[in-house]
Structure formats: C-alpha cells, structure tokens
Amino acid sequence: MVVAIGGNSGQEIVIDLKPGVQRNVSLYRLCDVWGYSYNDRTPLALRLECIFADYDNPNPALFKSGFTCPPEAPSVVDEFLYVHGGVAGGMWNWGQAGRVNGALLLPDAIRYLATELASAIR
C-alpha cells in the first residue's frame, strides 16, 4: 500500500510494507526509484527510509492515520521488486511479495552486492 503524506517538502510517499499483518506498523518513506523496463515487466530498485519497522500497535489503522515521524535519524534500506508492465504495456501491478520479490537490503548488504555486481559485469 502506498500513500502520500505531508512532509517538509510538501508531499512524500510512505509505503506500508506489511498492511495485512495484525498489530504491525512497518512504514517506509520512499527516497529514490530506479527501474529498467522490458516489454512486459519492470524490475525496480527502491531506496527507503525506515519510519517504523515491525512496531507493535493494537490498532495499526488508527495509528497510521495520524502518526508523527520519530525524531531520530531514519535508517536507510534498499528494496528490489518488479511490476507487471513494461514498454509494450501491461497492468503495472506489483509482483507478489515473497521469496523473489520485495527483498529489503541493509546498507552493508547493498554496498557489497553493488561492488560485486559492478565487478562481474565489466
């Protein structure tokens, strides 16, 4: 689920990574998006700032409707996923999150993978 909220620069996009999990608030601010479109699908890389990760709350819907961002500096994570749409068209729906879609990577993992992939594709 993706929604826009007011922020310092006008509007920001906040993604609820676990909207169906009971008593869970996992909200991330979208910072950057990179994508590469094929005919029928587009893999994406997202850079996100963690606002709340697996925060236990008895009423997540109520909490999310009026939360305040915590004052501490947010941690940054990267995510890879894909959408069912590309240069030839498509529905542009997200692929199902699971084992092959929606992997969250912390900074040390993304730095390592970026270095190794850059070396391997030269």
In this structure, are residues 77 and 28 in contact, taking their beta carbons and an 8 Å threshold? yes
Indicate the pLDDT class of residue 1, thresholds 50, 70 and 90: low
Residue 100 scores a pLDDT above 80: no
Q: Which domain holds residue 84?
A: 2-120
Query: What average pLDDT does the structure give for the chain?
Result: 86
d(CA 118, CA 122): 7
Element (H, E) at 62: helix 60-64
Note the pTM of the prediction, 2 decimals. 0.77
| Three-state DSSP class for residue 59 | coil
Greater model confidence, 99 or 118: 118
Residue 8 scores a pLDDT above 60: no
Instruction: Give how many domains the chain has, as a whole number.
Output: 1
In this structure, are residues 48 and 77 in contact, taking their beta carbons and an 8 Å threshold? yes
In this structure, are residues 31 and 49 in contact, taking their beta carbons and an 8 Å threshold? yes
Other Cβ atoms less than 10 A from the Cβ of 29: the count is 18
Indicate the pLDDT class of residue 99, thresholds 50, 70 and 90: low
Structure tokens at 98: 């699971």
Q: What percent of the chain has pLDDT over 70?
A: 86
